[in-house]
Amino acid sequence: MKLWKLSDGQTQWRSGVTQVSTGRGRMGEPDLIYAFPDPMLAVFMNPTAGTTMRLWQCEGEPVFSDGLQIACTNLPIVREVSPPEVTPEMRARFAILVAQLAFRDREWVTWSHAWLSDRERSASASERAARAARAAIAAAARYAACALSSAADVSAATDAGSLALRADAACIAAADAADDARAASAAAFAADAACAASRATNAEEEAYVARVAAYAVRAAMSTSWIAKDATVDLVALARRACGLRRRAPKQ
């Protein structure tokens, strides 16, 4: 399977070399090698937007995937390739498209469609959208706190079974609230990226856009309903963010 891996300018990678890990095949272990299924996605998820980053085409057999990256134990390097050029606006667009999958707040969704269609690009509108998302984060936190507080009220439980049921319900409610908070965080980061993209005039500001846009994507992908949705196509969304409607043909 063709994969793409970013490395910094100090990492000793070269064509014809196979990177080997000692991972046991569990996503999240640091000794596995992680790569992306598309070069554009790799660049979008580079949180530094640094000029020292190098992009490598590789061949790997997937062990696990979290929907964003693919984990391998061996990654033969085929060649170095020129990374696709993306602008701060493209990064913000990608962040919004992914956050739309997870966040359903009406005010934020209305803003996101207006921003994507270029009807409303003002900084004030983006800041309002970010505030709406942060209000949703706070609401999720309050909901989780109430659920846990209710479970801790042992005086309301008549027996051990009742207490266990209350604890289970609280855990479910807290997990739901955590998902809601991740979705709202994705929306807040995406709105921040949009606001910053409209003002980015130097490398430091562009790096900020890259960072918060990548945070938005990771937050959205960490929600349970997106992580389990096999129909989510991040590569297609990345290409759409760049104005490309179809995937590049396979080489």
Domain boundaries, the chain: 2-81, 88-241
State the Cα–Cα distance between residues 234 and 217, nearest whole angstrom: 9
* pLDDT (tens digit per residue) in 212-234: 999 999 999 999 888 778 788 99
Band of residue 157 on the pLDDT scale cut at 50, 70, 90: low
Q: What angle do CA 236, 33, 207 make, to 5 degrees?
A: 60
Here the tokens at position 106 are: 């009406």
In the predicted model, what is the mean pLDDT of the chain? 85
pLDDT of residue 250: 45
Q: What single letter denotes the amino acid at residue 125?
A: A
Q: What per-residue confidence (pLDDT) applies to 12?
A: 65
Read off the tokens for 173.
């409610």
Specify the pLDDT at position 226.
Answer: 85
The greatest distance separating any two alpha carbons of the chain, rounded to the nearest whole angstrom, comes to: 68
Q: What angle do CA 209, 215, 218 make, to 5 degrees?
A: 140
Residue 121's CB is within 10 A of a number of other CB atoms, namely: 17
pLDDT digits (tens, 9 = 90+) for 23-80: 554 555 557 888 999 999 999 998 776 557 889 999 988 888 888 889 888 888 999 9
Higher confidence at residue 6 or residue 154? 6
Predicted confidence at residue 249, as pLDDT, reads 41
Q: How far apart are CA 251 and CA 247, in angstroms?
A: 12
Enter the pTM of the model.
0.85
**Residue in this structure with the two tokens 């991740």, named with its chain if needed:** 182
| Burial readout 172-196 (b: 16 or more C-beta within 10 A, e: otherwise) | ebbeebbbbbbbbbbbbbbbbbbbb
Number of C-beta neighbours around residue 68 at 10 A: 20
Tell me how crowded residue 251 is: count the other CB atoms within 10 A of its CB. Answer: 5
Q: What DSSP letter does each residue of 165-184 carry, written as one string?
A: HHHHHHHHHHHHHHHHHHHH
- CA 171 to chain centroid, in Å, comes to 25
